[in-house]
């Protein structure tokens, strides 16, 4: 046993990753409450149309801050509870056959810089909760794209054209796939990913997002 490790775990109380206050739970009580204040009452309200959307919460406040911490502050562990909540909400709401879960990939250069893809981490945790199969390398991001938030809707779509490719080793299940991402904004990213999969004859049943901006 590593003595130093066991000593320091006794001396250093765990802290909440969002506010740094000591907390025996992963998120402290305050942050947990603020996160759940962002949760949608009806996550499947937009489960309709060609590319239906299931979103856990509104992209604002503490949920927005936690996603920023996950992506930009090197706190990948935040994906674990958030992916679990997303999975629990899915299980309570949806009855869809066992589709494979395909996280929206990052370009390799960006992933190397960040050290991980937050959508893959969320999908791993989501799949633990739902027991749906994870297909984390079904899709590749072959073109580095400009940060989407700087662009308008038409520019977003153009920016993403041909950004994705399907891994030739991916074998689809008859039930099809579900895309999973951290934020749903205009839908430009998931639409580009979905059309890439559909061109290969893969059925895309919908999009699962941890958060989304204002409703359509």
Kindly list the residues in this chain that would bind Zn ion in the complex (CB under 5 A): 16, 18-19, 28, 31
Q: Which is nearer to Zn ion, 17 or 176 (CB)?
A: 17
Closest CA to 89 of 78, 81, 97: 81
- CB of residue 33 vs Zn ion: minimum separation in angstroms? 10
- CB of residue 125 vs Zn ion: minimum separation in angstroms? 19
Closest CA to 215 of 72, 67, 13, 59: 59
- CB of residue 57 vs Zn ion: minimum separation in angstroms? 17
User: In 87-194, which ranges are E strands?
Assistant: 100-103, 139-141, 164-166, 177-184
- CB of residue 166 vs Zn ion: minimum separation in angstroms? 40
Q: Residue 157: which residues within 8 A CB-CB, separation 6 or more?
A: 188, 191, 192
CA dist 101 and 11 (Å) reads 40
Sign of CA dihedral 22, 26, 28, 31: positive
**Beta pairing, strands 204-212 & 53-58:** parallel
Rounded alpha-carbon distances, angstroms, from residue 50 to 46, 70, 87, 89, 109:
11, 30, 22, 22, 32
Q: Which is nearer to Zn ion, 31 or 190 (CB)?
A: 31
Using the CB atoms, write b or e for 47-60: b if 16+ within 10 Å.
beeebebbbbbbbe
Q: Which is nearer to Zn ion, 69 or 94 (CB)?
A: 69
Q: Which is nearer to Zn ion, 14 or 133 (CB)?
A: 14
- CB of residue 16 vs Zn ion: minimum separation in angstroms? 3
- CB of residue 85 vs Zn ion: minimum separation in angstroms? 16
135 phi, psi to nearest 5 deg: -120, 70
Q: Which is nearer to Zn ion, 24 or 115 (CB)?
A: 24
Q: Which is nearer to Zn ion, 32 or 88 (CB)?
A: 32
């Amino acid at each position: 046993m590593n003595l130093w490790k066991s000593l320091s775990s006794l001396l250093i109380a765990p802290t909440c990753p969002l506010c740094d206050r000591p907390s025996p739970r992963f998120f402290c009580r305050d942050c947990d409450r603020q996160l759940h204040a962002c949760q949608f009452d009806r996550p499947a309200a937009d489960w309709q149309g060609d590319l239906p959307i299931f979103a856990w919460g509104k992209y604002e406040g503490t949920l927005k801050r936690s996603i920023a911490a996950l992506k930009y502050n090197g706190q990948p562990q935040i994906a674990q509870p958030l992916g679990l909540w997303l999975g629990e909400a899915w299980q309570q709401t949806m009855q869809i056959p066992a589709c494979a879960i395909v996280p929206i990939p990052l370009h390799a250069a960006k992933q190397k810089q960040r050290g991980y893809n937050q959508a893959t981490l969320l999908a791993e945790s989501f799949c633990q909760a739902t027991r749906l199969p994870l297909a984390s390398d079904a899709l590749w991001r072959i073109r580095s794209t400009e940060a989407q938030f700087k662009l308008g809707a038409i520019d977003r779509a153009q920016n993403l054209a041909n950004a994705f490719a399907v891994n030739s080793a991916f074998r689809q299940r008859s039930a099809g796939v579900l895309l999973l991402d951290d934020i749903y904004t205009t839908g430009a990213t998931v639409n580009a990913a979905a059309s890439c999969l559909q061109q290969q004859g893969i059925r895309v049943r919908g999009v699962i997002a941890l958060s989304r901006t204002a409703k359509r």
